[in-house]
Amino acid sequence: MQYIVLDLEWNQPLNYQTRAYRLYGDRLMFELLQIGAVRIDENGQILDSFNLPIRPSIYTIVHPRIRRMTHLTPDILDESPDFGDAVNQFVNWCGEDYVILTWGCDDISVLYQNLHFFDVHPALPTFYDIQPLFSKTYSLPNRTNLKQAMELMHLDPEENRSFHNALNDAYYTALVFTHLPQMQDVLSYPQQARTLIHPKPHATKGDLFESIAMALDSEQAQKPHCAICARETILEDSYIPQAADKYVTLSRCPKHGLNLVRIRFRPTVDHMREMTVRTCRATRPNIAYVHTKRLQIQQRAAEGRMPDPELMLDYAEKSSVTFED
Ligand SMILES: [Zn+2]
């Protein structure tokens, strides 16, 4: 038996008012744009790979953010097969006696929604999810994204293999999988496609910006209000990232001293960055934390290891496809 590690990239409507989305959105939330796969034998040896972009037929304009992430340009997609053809090529490549592995449950669900929508019915084997096996192996309470998993395993991304390309992500997933001590236990984690639901445009609490950099430059971020007197404070230093969606710094009120300023970002359904700013009176541990964190970040920046903040936030977004329970 062979393992086929599968990773998919997909497009989404430019916004939720487009004609295509109004017509088809309830049945096709995301349209597949690329199939990437890596074949592994029973001993964990990587044998070969499959990479095929797909010409979209419903959401034909690739969302600029997705285009930036995947590097799938109109030129590439125009020359690619349509979904039905692409799926057939993939299934032929898979051969016989195999199972399909993915990282997390998003890919199978988006794939099956596309299969139903386009009325394509290939014979596919059972899908298994590597992510819960990884969490169990490392005693992690939560779902981990692929990048974090690689870091935990000390597997370095390769310079010419960017994340968010179906083939590269499949390759990295295969690396993680073959480095697991009990990789065959993945067969304990079969998965089924789940029904995708529309992301509800949540009530906006914060301010909307086009980018994280613009948000951090805004008056709200640059002159946060003191937690005690609500007067404008003066930033001690620039914001530093705590996580993909969290930034922190210290700010001084002339009267009340240092405030801890915490910023949180949420990508909205129409691809803006919603920012909320919270301040509280800084405690000694807060101050020590920010200083230590800043030194770490400066060190990482000096080594050229700071990831693109926009991509990080999108990465968080990609794994947050919403499902019906
Ligand atoms: Zn104050």
DSSP calls for 296-321:
HHHHHHHTT-PPPHHHHHHHHHHTT-
Residues 92-132 have pLDDT tens digits of 999 999 999 999 989 999 999 999 999 999 999 999 999 99
Q: Looking at residue 191, what is its pLDDT?
A: 93
Average pLDDT over the chain reads 90
- Gap from CA of 279 to ligand 1 centroid (Å): 11
pTM of structure? 0.69
Task: List domains and CATH numbers for the chain.
Answer: 2-196 (3.30.420.10), 207-314 (no CATH)
Helix (H, G, I), strand (E, B) or coil at 24: helix
Taking the centre of ligand 1 as the mean of its atom positions, its distance from the CA of residue 205, in whole angstroms, is 23
How far out from the chain centre does Cα 177 lie? Answer: 19
**Ligand 1 midpoint to CA 254 (Å):** 7
Rounded Cα distance, 261 and 100, in Å: 45
* Confidence label for 318 from pLDDT (cuts 50, 70 and 90): low
75 token code pair: 């030129």
Taking residues 263-291, report their average pLDDT: 89
Q: How far is the CA of 240 from the centre of ligand 1 (A)?
A: 22
Do 23 and 74 contact (CB within 8 A), yes or no? no
Is residue 269 very low, low, confident or very high in pLDDT (cuts 50, 70, 90)?
Answer: low
- Among candidate residues 70, 2, 3, 10, the one with its CA nearest the CA of residue 321: 10
Distance between Cα 224 and ligand 1 center (Å): 11
The per-residue pLDDT for 325 is 47
For 2, the 3-state DSSP assignment is: strand
> Would the CA dihedral through 303, 309, 314, 316 be positive or negative?
positive
- pLDDT tens sequence across 40-99: 999 999 999 999 999 999 999 888 878 888 889 999 999 999 999 999 999 999 999 999
Ligand 1 centre and the CA of 239: distance in Å? 20
Give me the pLDDT at residue 159, please. Answer: 87
Q: Beta strand pairing status for 98-102 and 31-40? A: unpaired
Q: 283: CA distance to ligand 1 center in Å?
A: 15
- C-alpha to C-alpha distance for 12 and 7, rounded to whole angstroms: 17
Cα(238) to ligand 1 centroid in Å equals 20
Largest interatomic CA distance in the chain? 73
- Tens of pLDDT along 138-191? 988 777 888 889 988 999 999 888 888 899 999 999 999 999 999 999 999 999
Q: Where is pLDDT greater, at 259 or 309?
A: 259
Spatial separation of the C-alpha atoms in residues 163 and 92, rounded to whole Å: 26
Instruction: For residue 261, report the distance from its CA to the centre of ligand 1, in Å.
Output: 13
What's the CA-to-centroid distance between 22 and ligand 1, angstroms?
A: 49
E-assigned strand segments in the chain: 2-11, 31-40, 46-53, 98-102, 127-129, 190-191, 207-209, 234-235, 240-243, 246-253, 257-267, 273-281
